[in-house]
Chains A and B, each alone.
Chain A
């Protein structure tokens, strides 16, 4: 008599657990990506967009979307330094801005590329 009801409960429990897990994972991932910061593309030997504003602690994701070209992003200031090393085509480089100010991200290979990041 109990078997049918018990079975239904078990199924419901499994469904609920899986749904909850999926939500948590999705939410967590979403938060990791979305809250972290904007994405900038390296394309046609430029940064697109070429300027942006972020909050202190944000991360700018730099995507090399430039065919088979290699890029090499860097920032050199008294307050903050960053060097990406060679960025392979298709790679994403995270630049985590911990200091407020205005910073110019450049490319060691393509000197005309510049990305102005204003960190509030």
Chain B
């Protein structure tokens, strides 16, 4: 009886997931985020917030922000299915000296969410982007 209940529940959850995922989308996440202008607004806005966010502002000391924004836009563009080629650099190697913790990573996530809210990206779309970025945490967070 319980095994049947478990199976039914698992099936319901899987169905919910499949329905919410939707059919294969006609547009890429890159397009849903507004293409290049959209990504520029999102990443630019997020980093503008980050440099005045007291939790992480000092992490951006001695960094060329204009260049950083450009490189991240390239990276996210490629990740989200856009027509960019991002010459990979080591997330681990480039962040190690900052000794970042989860709370710093999460602070930037929140700054990104604030910016995407302002730009008008739907929550579900925001989560699709964050789902692509979240796995980088293991390389970026070193403490």
Contacts and interface: CB of A to CB of B under 8 A. Distances in A.
Contacts of B96: 67-68
B62 A69 contact: no
B94 interface: yes
A84 B89 CA distance: 18
Interface in A61-120: 67-70, 89, 108-113
Contacts of B63: 109-111
B5 to A, nearest CB: 52
| Interface class of chain A by DSSP | loop
B93 A108 contact: no
B94 A111 contact: no
Q: Please tell me the size bucket of the interface on A.
A: 10 to 19
A67 B97 CA distance: 9
Interface residues of B, number: 12
Contact of B64 (A44, A89, A108): A108
Interface string B73-94: 0000000000000000110111
A44 B64 CA distance: 16
Contact of A68 (B62, B64, B67, B93): B93
B73 to A, nearest CB: 16
Contacts of A110: 62-64
A67 B63 CA distance: 16
Nearest to B92: A68
Interface of B: 61-64, 67, 89-90, 92-94, 96-97
8 contacts: A68-B93, A68-B96, A70-B89, A70-B94, A108-B67, A109-B63, A110-B63, A113-B62
Interface of A: 44-45, 67-70, 89, 108-113
Q: Which 6 A-B pairs have the closest CB atoms?
A: A68-B93, A112-B62, A110-B62, A68-B90, A111-B64, A45-B62
